[in-house]
């Protein structure tokens, strides 16, 4: 069957006459294959705690066994299994919890699961409380469940992140909901994070960083009275000029409506880039964002340190401070979990942010502390962390409680990747289970499908439905704004303009002094929406009679994209395609098959023995004359991204021409990795460049995970001196750049080739 073009697919997905499931499917999902040597905890004595148990069965204290027992107390998740810290049976899990329940807070505090700069920072910012230290974790759980909020808040500063992580392990889902309903940490001067309030981060992502795509999703959200926390977009490009343009556009919307003291803007690039943009155009960057990890080594892969984040925290003195994103499993999937389970490491991230919040408070002794909040991106990584809807709910509930016990305003991205066993309908069920715990906010997009990040999350209509079902409110100041622009009436009911983004655009134009007739502006708005949709970005107009039912055509489009993603995920890279790549050198990762590659990233991050042999032969054939740049091509999570017509070949031709014009030499061979992940590219560089001289770089072309319908690929760029390439495992994401969203319907491959060459050229110039 001949595949329709991406452009046609994106434009006509809702009315496609043939199910995309008819495409050839070369693999199917299956059960994960994790470590079989999990944790066994058996035959306890009366009132035994963790330390007496370890001493009895081991003869002395053992840190490895300590980590395993604490990990075994978790509800089952695939990530803990792969780390070797998951309980093998329910009996082991129950025994581990009993040992943990009997263990004193002081004893856990004096036995660090893993010491680094993060744990030291948490310890330094946790106050002493001798009474609480004498409690067992079981007694702490009972205190939290039975005491009122004010009593719990008295001891919260004395609870370290490890203790908070331990206590949630002992709670059932119902008990976690009970705690979530009890503790609230609202943002200063607002109702966001208060009991009975549930806000929204508008996430107006564009696959091309198109300003209209981004701005109109804001108008769309406000048409449904959604969006009171932050206008926060994920950029495709982290080039300062591109980030600055988006920040300026979002800031313009906010200031045009005179909302600068009500809601901030944010472009979720690396915090270094945001700081640079603030210098370029002062006052436009709103709240500053950064992803945080739970170990020093994992943060290093983000090019982060405690010192860097403390420095940036000290600069935030206005209304808006720091916005962090976290997620269980991020440390593990980066290979930096240090043997510690996912719950404890997630808790340490909140401890890191709590310390930064304290830093900002110390620099502002009077007045409100700058807004500081955290978004737990539960489910964003994939099935290697956890696979099922039940695990997603458990993760969300654990993280809500851990965030609240750290004194943080915590929101959720109740989300799943397209390679998890969670459907669109499952996600609705997950939302229903989590909402009683009253998180501070959720993500908000026109549909559940993110057009740039290719994952499933919460749509505008989900917010409308949740508000109706659970009685949750929007921040008071933004609710008044929604009344002022007449999308809701004085009683808070939807008006005739509810769900009409052109009406919000009309209000925006009026606020700018645009005196054109309403129909003229509406005609302009209709054309804008048409152009945006043709770029593959949905705009939701006029839900059903309930105001929260998805437009049927839009719902159908999202479901077609979902099915297309499943097909893309399990499509194999055929030998005929590899042969069509000029001068291809085909190699394999260590993944045994597609299923192993999808469910176990570590296998796809390492080259096979045969691949290493073949690359060494390539080195020998070159007789030590190593070119400046090596091009590598991997299937990643969507081989169709590089197989689609007009994708790989224009990019390959363009990048070679552009780099040669800049004076760089390129290996005429293209390394092609089946079941390849990003880190296999680094390994190729180690083998090819480790024994040479000078500066060397790679361009790693890899299929992005599917879901948007664009079939995008990315180019990961890494440049390092050869003495760094020679040190195995030194080159990582922290010194790499990425150009993403490349396809014939997003960032044009020929234009992407030029951008890639320009960035790589600058990287060569920066390397000493």
Q: How many CB atoms lie within 10 A of CB 477?
A: 16
Distance CA 625, CA 619 (A): 8
CB 392 within 8 A of CB 414: yes
Q: What is the pLDDT of residue 21?
A: 27
Q: What is the pLDDT of residue 12?
A: 43
Q: What is the pLDDT of residue 363?
A: 80
Convert the pLDDT of each residue in 485-520 to its tens digit.
999 999 999 999 999 999 999 999 999 999 999 999
* DSSP 3-state of 79: helix
CB 202 within 8 A of CB 194: no
Distance CA 337, CA 223 (A): 43
CATH class held by domain 567-766: alpha beta
CB 321 within 8 A of CB 368: no
User: What tokens appear for 765 in the block?
Assistant: 């110039």
The structural domains of the chain, with segments of one domain joined by +, span 50-176, 193-290+314-322+362-539, 567-766
Q: What is the pLDDT of residue 84?
A: 94
Ranges assigned E (strand) in 288-370: 288-291, 320-326
User: What tokens appear for 302 in the block?
Assistant: 């983000």
**Residue 201: closest CA among 451, 376, 389:** 376
371-376: strand order across its sheet: 265-267, 230-233, 199-202, 441-444, 409-412, 371-376, 320-326, 288-291
Distance CA 334, CA 601 (A): 10
Q: What is the pLDDT of residue 24?
A: 29
Handedness of CA 707, 713, 719, 722 (dihedral sign): positive
H or E stretch at 249:
helix 240-256
CB 645 within 8 A of CB 583: no
Cβ burial of 478 (10 Å; 0-12, 13-18, 19+) is buried
Output the CA–CA distances (angstroms, integers) from residue 418 to 25, 382, 567, 637, 709, in the order listed: 15, 8, 10, 10, 12
Q: What is the pLDDT of residue 543?
A: 77
Q: What is the pLDDT of residue 37?
A: 56
User: What tokens appear for 365 in the block?
Assistant: 């002794």
**Which distant-in-sequence residues (6+ apart) come within 8 Å of 404 by Cβ?**
179, 180, 183, 184, 185, 410
Question: Which 3-state string (H, E, C) describes 419-451?
Answer: CCCCCHHHHHHHHHHHHHHCCCEEEEECCCECC
CB 302 within 8 A of CB 334: no
User: What tokens appear for 7 in the block?
Assistant: 């452009």
| Chain Cα centroid distance, residue 429 | 21
* DSSP 3-state of 734: helix
Convert the pLDDT of each residue in 189-201 to its tens digit.
999 999 999 999 9
Handedness of CA 385, 381, 705, 563 (dihedral sign): positive
Distance CA 113, CA 120 (A): 12
User: What tokens appear for 656 in the block?
Assistant: 């070679």
pLDDT along the chain (768 residues), means of 10: 42 34 28 50 92 95 96 96 94 97 97 97 96 96 98 98 98 98 97 98 96 98 98 94 97 98 97 97 97 96 95 94 96 92 98 97 82 95 92 98 98 93 93 98 97 94 96 98 97 95 98 98 98 94 80 90 94 97 97 94 95 93 82 97 97 98 97 98 96 94 92 97 94 92 94 97 92
Output the CA–CA distances (angstroms, integers) from residue 250 to 113, 157, 267, 733, in the order listed: 43, 36, 9, 29
CB 370 within 8 A of CB 192: no
Phi, psi of 443 (to 5 degrees): -70, 160
Phi, psi of 505 (to 5 degrees): -60, -40
H-type alpha helices, 73-183: 78-83, 90-101, 105-109, 117-124, 130-133, 137-146, 149-155, 161-169, 173-180
Proportion of the chain in helix, strand, coil states, percent, rounded to 5: 50, 15, 40
Q: What is the pLDDT of residue 34?
A: 31
Q: Do domains 193-290+314-322+362-539 and 567-766 have the same CATH topology?
A: no
Distance CA 162, CA 126 (A): 11
H or E stretch at 38:
none
CATH of domain 193-290+314-322+362-539: 3.20.20.70
Q: What is the pLDDT of residue 253?
A: 98
User: What tokens appear for 419 in the block?
Assistant: 């390679």
Ranges assigned E (strand) in 166-238: 199-202, 230-233
Ranges assigned E (strand) in 158-237: 199-202, 230-233
Distance CA 525, CA 178 (A): 46
């Amino acid at each position: 069957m001949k595949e329709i073009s991406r452009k046609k697919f994106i434009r006509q997905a809702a009315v496609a006459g043939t199910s995309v499931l008819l495409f050839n499917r070369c693999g199917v999902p299956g059960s994960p294959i994790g470590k079989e040597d999990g944790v066994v905890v058996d035959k306890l004595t009366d009132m035994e705690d963790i330390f007496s148990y370890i001493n009895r069965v081991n003869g002395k204290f053992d840190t490895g066994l300590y980590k395993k027992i604490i990990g075994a107390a978790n509800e089952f998740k695939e990530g803990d299994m792969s780390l070797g810290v998951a309980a093998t049976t329910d009996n082991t899990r129950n025994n581990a919890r009993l040992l943990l329940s009997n263990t004193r807070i002081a004893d856990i505090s004096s036995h660090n699961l893993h010491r680094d700069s993060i744990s030291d920072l948490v310890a330094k910012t946790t106050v002493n409380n001798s009474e609480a230290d004498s409690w067992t974790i079981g007694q702490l759980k009972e205190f939290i469940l039975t005491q009122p909020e004010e009593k719990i808040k008295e001891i919260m500063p004395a609870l370290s992140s490890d203790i908070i992580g331990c206590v949630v392990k002992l709670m059932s889902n119902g008990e976690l909901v009970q705690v979530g309903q009890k503790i609230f940490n609202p943002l200063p001067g607002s109702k966001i994070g208060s009991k009975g309030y549930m806000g929204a981060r508008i996430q107006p992502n564009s696959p091309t960083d198109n300003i209209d795509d981004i701005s109109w999703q804001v108008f769309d959200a406000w048409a449904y009275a959604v969006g009171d926390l932050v206008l926060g977009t994920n950029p495709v490009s982290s080039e300062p000029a591109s980030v600055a343009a988006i920040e300026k556009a979002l800031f313009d919307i906010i200031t045009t409506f005179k909302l600068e003291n009500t809601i901030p803007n944010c472009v979720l690039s690396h915090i270094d880039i945001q700081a640079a943009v603030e210098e370029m155009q002062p006052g436009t960057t709103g709240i500053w964002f950064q992803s945080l990890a739970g170990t020093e080594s994992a943060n290093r892969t983000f090019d982060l340190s405690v010192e860097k984040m403390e420095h940036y925290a000290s600069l935030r003195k206005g209304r808006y401070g720091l916005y962090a994103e976290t997620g269980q499993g991020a440390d593990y999937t980066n290979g930096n979990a240090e043997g510690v389970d996912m719950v404890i490491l997630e808790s340490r991230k909140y401890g890191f942010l709590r310390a930064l919040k304290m830093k900002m408070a110390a620099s502002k002794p009077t007045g409100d502390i700058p807004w500081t909040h955290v978004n737990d991106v539960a489910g964003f990584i994939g099935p290697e962390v956890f696979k099922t809807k039940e695990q997603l709910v458990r993760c969300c509930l654990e993280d809500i409680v851990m965030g609240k016990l750290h004194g943080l305003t915590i929101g959720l991205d109740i989300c799943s990747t397209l390679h998890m066993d969670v459907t669109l309908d499952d996600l609705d069920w997950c939302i229903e289970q989590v909402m009683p715990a009253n998180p501070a906010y959720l993500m908000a997009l026109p549909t559940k499908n993110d057009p740039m990040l290719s994952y499933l999350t919460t749509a505008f209509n989900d917010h409308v439905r949740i508000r109706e079902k659970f009685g949750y409110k929007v921040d008071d100041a933004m609710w008044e704004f929604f009344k002022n622009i007449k999308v809701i009436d004085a009683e808070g009911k939807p008006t005739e303009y509810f769900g009409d983004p052109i009406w919000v655009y009309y209000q925006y134009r009026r606020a700018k002094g645009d005196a054109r007739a309403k129909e003229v502006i509406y005609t302009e708005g209709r054309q804008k929406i048409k152009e945006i949709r043709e770029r593959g970005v949905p705009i939701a107009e006029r839900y059903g009679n309930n105001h929260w039912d998805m437009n049927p055509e839009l719902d159908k489009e999202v479901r077609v994209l979902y099915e297309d993603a499943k097909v893309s995920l399990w499509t194999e890279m055929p030998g005929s395609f590899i042969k069509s790549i000029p001068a291809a050198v085909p190699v394999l990762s260590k993944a045994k098959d597609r299923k192993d590659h999808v469910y176990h990233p570590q296998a796809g991050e390492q080259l096979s023995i045969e691949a290493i042999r073949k690359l060494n032969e390539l080195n020998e054939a070159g007789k030590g004359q190593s070119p400046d740049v090596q091009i590598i091509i991997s299937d990643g999570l969507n081989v169709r991204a590089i197989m689609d017509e007009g994708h790989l070949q224009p990019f390959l031709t363009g990048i070679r021409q552009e780099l040669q014009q800049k004076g760089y030499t390129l290996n005429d061979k293209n390394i092609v990795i089946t079941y390849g992940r990003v880190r296999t590219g680094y390994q190729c560089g180690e083998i090819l460049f480790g024994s040479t001289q000078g500066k060397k770089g790679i361009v790693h072309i890899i299929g992005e995970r599917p879901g948007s319908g664009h079939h995008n690929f990315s180019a990961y760029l890494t440049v390092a001196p050869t003495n760094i390439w020679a040190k195995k495992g030194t080159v990582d994401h922290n010194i790499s750049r990425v150009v993403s969203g490349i396809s014939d319907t997003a960032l044009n491959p020929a234009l992407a080739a030029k951008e890639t060459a320009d960035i790589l050229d600058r990287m060569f110039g920066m390397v000493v």
